[in-house]
């Protein structure tokens, strides 16, 4: 999911700046982890020597006046404005904002969740992510005689089907939840 979100964010940045080089984009990606969001809507980007930075941190902010992003690297030691080109600190911030948005969107995606109990001696599968644990607290001879499992399935479709050795053994109607909620349910389920 993180990979897809990053790809989507990169694609947006690429289409915004079609003239920019691959290394410009690569630097923006390398800086992604160095971006810190400030409370006032500005951003701090840690400097990296290997990317040619000479300061430990750069400040990036958006100006409503000219509708542009600015970076403290546009100013010299003496406060004179230098290059007006979009630096990779700004590129990193633009990428960061899009990446975050893409991740949030992915989290809001709807999925279906269902819990059940099955008996299966062999391979269990489902049309989604399948989580399995023994139904009994203790694994004893009874379990080996008739192995019962508690299952949880997170699926993209409402109708959830569980198979044992390729044969359908359970059909359930999933409950529609956000992906973030499903993740929470999976964690809680594992915790018993
Ligand atoms: Zn900069």
pLDDT at 161: 98
pLDDT tens string 135-192: 887 777 777 788 999 999 999 999 999 999 999 999 999 999 999 899 999 999 988 5
Radius of gyration in angstroms for the set of CA atoms belonging to the chain, rounded to a whole number: 25
Q: Which residues contact 180 (CB under 8 A, 6 or more apart)?
A: 107, 108
Per DSSP, the three-state class of 189 is helix
Domain ranges of the chain: 2-107, 110-190
Q: What is the rounded CA–CA span in Å between residue 73 and residue 148?
A: 63
The mean pLDDT value for 118-139 works out to 92
The mean pLDDT value for 122-145 works out to 88
What separation in Å is there between the alpha carbon of 65 and the centre of ligand 1? 19
**For residue 80, what are its two tokens?**
């004179």
What separation in Å is there between the alpha carbon of 88 and the centre of ligand 1? 6
**For residue 36, what are its two tokens?**
């810190």
What separation in Å is there between the alpha carbon of 40 and the centre of ligand 1? 18
Most confident of 4-8, 84-88, 163-167: 163-167
Q: What is the rounded CA–CA span in Å between residue 114 and residue 128?
A: 10
pLDDT of 76 > 80? The answer is no
Q: What is the rounded CA–CA span in Å between residue 56 and residue 60?
A: 13
What separation in Å is there between the alpha carbon of 63 and the centre of ligand 1? 15
Query: 3-class secondary structure for 18-36?
Result: CCCCHHHHHHHHHHHHHEE
Q: Is 105 exposed, middle or buried (0-12, 13-18, 19+ CB in 10 A)?
A: exposed
pLDDT at 136: 83
pLDDT at 16: 95
pLDDT at 169: 96
pLDDT of 123 > 60? The answer is yes
What separation in Å is there between the alpha carbon of 61 and the centre of ligand 1? 10
pLDDT at 23: 95
Q: What is the rounded CA–CA span in Å between residue 44 and residue 57?
A: 7
Per DSSP, the three-state class of 40 is coil
Q: What is the rounded CA–CA span in Å between residue 73 and residue 83?
A: 8
Mean per-residue pLDDT over the chain, rounded: 92
Q: What are phi and psi of 107, to 5 degrees?
A: -65, -30
Residue, of 74 and 117, whose pLDDT is higher: 117
What separation in Å is there between the alpha carbon of 41 and the centre of ligand 1? 16
């Amino acid at each position: 999911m993180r990979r897809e979100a990053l790809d989507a964010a990169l694609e947006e940045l690429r289409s915004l700046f079609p003239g920019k080089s691959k290394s410009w984009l690569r630097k923006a990606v390398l800086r992604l982890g160095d971006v810190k969001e400030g409370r006032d809507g500005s951003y701090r980007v840690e400097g990296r020597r290997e990317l040619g930075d000479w300061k430990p941190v750069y400040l990036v902010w958006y100006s409503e006046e000219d509708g542009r992003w600015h970076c403290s690297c546009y100013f010299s030691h003496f406060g004179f404005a230098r290059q007006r080109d979009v630096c990779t600190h700004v590129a990193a911030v633009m990428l960061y904002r899009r990446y975050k948005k893409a991740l949030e969107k992915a989290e809001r995606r709807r999925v279906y969740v269902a819990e059940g109990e099955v008996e299966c001696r062999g391979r269990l599968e489902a049309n989604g992510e399948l989580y399995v644990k023994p139904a009994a607290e203790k694994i004893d001879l009874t379990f080996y005689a008739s192995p019962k499992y508690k299952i949880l399935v997170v699926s993209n479709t409402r109708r959830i089907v569980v198979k044992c050795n390729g044969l359908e053994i359970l059909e359930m109607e999933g409950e529609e939840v956000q992906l973030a909620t499903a993740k929470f349910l999976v964690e809680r389920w594992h915790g018993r």
